[in-house]
Amino acid sequence: MTAANLRGLDAAFLVGDPLTSRYRKRIHELAALQSMPMFVPAPEYVECQALLGYGPSLRDSVRQAAAYVDKILRGAKPADVPIKQPKEYRLVVNLRTAKRLGIKLPSSLVIRADEVIQ
pTM (two decimals): 0.76
**Could you confirm whether domain 3-56+89-117 is CATH 3.40.50.2300?**
yes
List the domain boundaries for the chain. Answer: 3-56+89-117
**Whole-number CA gyration radius for the chain:** 17
The tens digit of pLDDT for each residue in 35-91 reads 889 898 888 777 778 899 998 887 888 889 999 999 999 999 999 999 888 888 999
Q: How big, in percent rounded to 5, are the helix, strand and coil portions of the chain? A: 50, 15, 35
- Whole-number pLDDT of residue 46: 79
- Name which of 43, 52, 42, 44 is nearest 12 in CA terms: 52
- Name which of 92, 87, 86 is nearest 39 in CA terms: 92
